[in-house]
């Protein structure tokens, strides 16, 4: 099988470092060999290829831009390109790695004690300990500050009560990073999923992100030890700081989904004749391709500069909101257009664009909906908050 040929209309490849290209190409090959052949079946059957997790660990794809504790210490842009390639395969695969690295390893790395870092990070980097991130609740999604989950201090540690919903990796996780209010302040806890009073149940009937487990976490007098609390952060900036890391990866990931859909549509219209000539020879079809090429190129450039700002230490969460918002929106448009260009074939799992189209509905919603990022940017430029 020949390697996937990425659209690179503006020679952006030349702006990446050798390390960034290598990271991307390694994942590209993994995706071609190990994900593409079976992803349609996983999506169809609603299963996640968990057997690949040790391989992700071996290749350094779990928490790749974190340093020390068995993490690979790559550049943020390399991390972004890893997400891009994984999402070219499937958003569910990229989600697994985003949750593990940005939402579970990052808070331990940034807010944890030395003991917590040594205890969890090497195993998480290797993929032997799987994490999930519990912020959203049934009645508090866009407004996590309203969360009802509570922690109470006891003689032995903490008692957690509450429900988290829509939690990626919930039922396969060994630990959950749970955000709960302790004396009215949001705090993070590392909760072993075999703790007394903790249960995780998969949410059934999803038509999006089917190759990923999404669960509900229920904590009923869930007992955890004193050293389970993340000591170095309190307040909503704890979970929101993790979201900034994950949204960065999603902005890159969305380009992977766009690339996959564009590539499939391009090949399809070149090969398929209607009215006695290939679809690619019709002006309306070419216009769709030209729009896709334009939006993919703009998103690639946006991501590159976002990565360079992060590397320089000047990236702000609002910069990430702009890229997440734009790229998920454009990926949604491109996936829908590609699906249309494939006609009836586009609605089957034998082709990829329909699966991406369905997945992107989740990407558009999670990690801050399109509207929430609109309001973040609006707040930034006007100085007026319109959230409530």
Which residues are marked as active site? Answer: 367
Confirm or reject binding of residue 243 to ligand TGC (CB under 6 A).
Answer: yes
Q: How far is the CB of 133 from ligand FAD (least distance, A)?
A: 5
Q: Does 340 bind ligand FAD (CB under 6 A)?
A: no
For every residue of 230-281, DSSP letters joined together read: -TT--STHHHHHHHHHHHHHHHHHHHHHHHHHHHHHHHHHHH-EETTEEGGG
Spatial separation of the C-alpha atoms in residues 168 and 161, rounded to whole Å: 20
Interface with ligand FAD, residue 101, by CB under 6 A: no
- With binding defined as CB under 6 A, does residue 369 bind ligand FAD? yes
User: How is residue 294 written in tokens?
Assistant: 């334009």
- DSSP annotation of 3 reads P
Rounded to an integer, what distance in angstroms lies between the CA atom of residue 58 and that of residue 121? 14
| Residue ranges with strand state E in the chain | 131-134, 150-153, 157-168, 175-182, 185-192, 198-202, 214-225, 273-274, 277-278
> Is residue 43 close enough to count as binding ligand FAD by CB under 6 A?
no
Is 185 an interacting residue with respect to ligand TGC (CB under 6 A)? no
Q: Toward ligand TGC, which CB reaches closer, 192 or 317? A: 317
Beta bridge partners of 233: none
Determine the number of helices (DSSP H) and then strands (DSSP E) in the chain.
12, 9
Identify residues 304-323 at the interface with ligand TGC (CB under 6 A): 317
Q: Is 371 one of the binding residues for ligand FAD (CB under 6 A)?
A: yes
Q: Which does 134 bind (CB under 5 to 8 A by kind): ligand FAD, ligand TGC, none?
A: ligand FAD
41-49, 72-80, 120-128, 160-168 -> range binding ligand FAD (CB under 6 A)? 160-168
Q: Report the alpha-carbon distance of residue 281 to residue 380 in Å, rounded.
A: 45
197 binds, among ligand FAD, ligand TGC, none (CB under 5 to 8 A by kind): none
Output the residue with the shortest Cβ distance to ligand FAD: 141
The answer to whether 359 touches 300, Cβ cutoff 8 Å, is no
Out of 203, 240, 289, 349, the residue judged to bind ligand TGC by CB under 6 A: 240
362 binding ligand FAD? (CB under 6 A): yes
Interface residues with ligand TGC (CB under 6 A) are 95, 98-99, 133, 135-136, 142, 144-145, 168, 235-237, 240-241, 243-244, 246, 317, 366-368, 372, 376, 387
């Amino acid at each position: 099988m020949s390697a996937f040929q990425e659209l690179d209309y503006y020679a952006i490849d030349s702006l990446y470092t050798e390390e960034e290209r290598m990271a991307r190409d390694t994942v590209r090959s993994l995706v071609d060999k190990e994900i593409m052949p079976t992803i349609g079946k996983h999506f169809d059957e609603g299963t996640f290829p968990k057997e690949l997790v040790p391989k992700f660990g071996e290749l350094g794809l779990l928490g790749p831009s974190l340093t020390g504790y068995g993490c690979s210490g790559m550049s943020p842009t390399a991390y972004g390109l890893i997400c891009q390639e994984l999402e070219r395969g499937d958003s569910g695969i990229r989600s697994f790695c985003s949750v593990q690295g940005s939402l579970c390893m990052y808070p331990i790395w940034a807010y944890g004690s030395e003991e917590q870092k040594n205890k969890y990070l090497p195993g998480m980097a290797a993929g032997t300990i799987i994490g999930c991130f519990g912020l959203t609740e049934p009645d508090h999604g866009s407004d996590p500050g309203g969360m009802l989950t509570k922690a109470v201090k006891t003689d032995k540690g903490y008692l957690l009560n509450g429900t988290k919903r829509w939690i990626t990796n919930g039922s396969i996780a060994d630990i959950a990073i749970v955000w709960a209010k302790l004396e009215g302040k949001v705090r993070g806890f590392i909760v072993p999923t075999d703790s007394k009073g903790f249960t995780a149940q998969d949410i059934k009937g999803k038509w999006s992100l089917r190759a990923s487990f999404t669960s509900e976490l229920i904590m009923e007098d869930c007992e955890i030890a004193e050293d389970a609390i993340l000591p170095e952060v309190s307040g909503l900036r704890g979970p929101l700081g993790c979201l900034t890391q994950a949204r960065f990866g999603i902005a890159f990931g969305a380009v992977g989904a766009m690339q996959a859909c564009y590539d499939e549509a391009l090949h399809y219209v070149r090969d398929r004749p209607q009215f006695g000539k290939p679809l690619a020879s019709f002006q309306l079809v070419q216009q769709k391709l030209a729009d896709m090429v334009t939006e993919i190129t703009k998103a690639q450039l946006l991501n590159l500069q976002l990565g360079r700002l992060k590397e320089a230490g000047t990236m702000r969460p609002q910069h990430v909101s702009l890229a997440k918002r734009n790229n998920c929106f454009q990926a949604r448009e491109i996936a829908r257009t590609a699906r249309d260009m494939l006609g009836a074939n586009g609605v089957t799992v034998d082709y990829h664009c329909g699966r991406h189209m369905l997945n992107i509905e989740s990407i558009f919603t999670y990690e801050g909906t399109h509207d929430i990022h609109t309001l973040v940017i609006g707040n930034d430029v006007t100085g007026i908050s319109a959230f409530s």
